[in-house]
Amino acid sequence: MNTTPKSACLVVGAGDATGAAIARAFAREGLTACLVRRPRHAKELEKLAASIRETGGAAVALPADARDEDAVAALVENIETEIGPIEVAVFNIGANVFFPIAETTARVYRKVWEMGAYAGFLTGREAAKRMLTRGRGTIIFTGATASLRGGAGFAAFAGAKQALRALAQSMARELGPKNIHVAHVVIDGAIDTDFIRGIMPDVDGKRAEDAILSPEAIAENYVMLHRQPRMAWTHELDLRPWKEKW
């Protein structure tokens, strides 16, 4: 009887669109999808895990606050001890908010930074600790247009996303020579989600023209990054629809 534990894919920010698609994609690769969102989303998280299991994949819901250092350390310890070695870690928390600068409170700025940057540091650090002992692994950070340039009204979001990008660059330079692939994905464009469908006109038309990002297509690229041979690793990948303005 094979008692070797199945490798795990940690998805921090396993929402109902991109995060869910990423989790499903790695479950199809044979990894156990370890799904993380804040505890207030525990029901939605378990529903996603159940849907993955119903289609033959392995998944477990692990509600946790990724901004809490002790919680992230305990989360990774639990996965490594009870589920399997983390082969892939994906940090996918969005933290996209719009506030004119005069209306951006210190509390808002700090919270967005905690969600978009600090939580990424905690996730990346704890995953790296385990991957270093095995000499392998993939860590992927989800970025945005704001990772490269700040837009009017997005000071907090851009600050967090650009900090996350810098983190990914530093980690790639340190961990790449140790056989750990660190990648940063710039999602430059609207994603076909419930939120976008609620605020953007003609989403159906954009979908018909392939003019809006598909969560499933994004997830396919994350799997591709994990599969890449180390003689040709991608660090930063830009994803945008063919009609998106640069």
Tens-place pLDDT, residues 198-212 = 778 888 889 999 989
Residue 37 lies in a domain: yes
The yes-or-no verdict on residue 3 having pLDDT over 70 is no
State the DSSP string of 69-87.
Answer: HHHHHHHHHHIIIII--EE
Model pLDDT for residues 153-168, shown as the tens digit of each residue: 999 999 999 999 999 9
On whether the CB atoms of residues 91 and 163 are closer than 8 A, the answer is no
**Higher pLDDT pick, 2 / 13:** 13
Residue 205 lies in a domain: no
Domain count, the chain: 1
Average pLDDT of the chain to the nearest whole number? 95
Residue 244 lies in a domain: no
| pLDDT attached to residue 41 | 96
Domain hosting residue 48, numbered range: 8-188+214-238
| pLDDT attached to residue 4 | 60
Residue 203 lies in a domain: no
The yes-or-no verdict on residue 2 having pLDDT over 70 is no
Residue 193 lies in a domain: no
Q: Residue type for 179, please?
A: N
Q: What is the CATH number of the domain that holds 113?
A: 3.40.50.720
Residue 196 lies in a domain: no
Model pLDDT for residues 27-53, shown as the tens digit of each residue: 999 999 999 999 999 999 999 999 999
**pTM, full prediction:** 0.95
Which residue in 160, 10, 1 sits closest to 85, CA to CA?
10
The span from the CA of 80 to the CA of 215, in Å, is 28
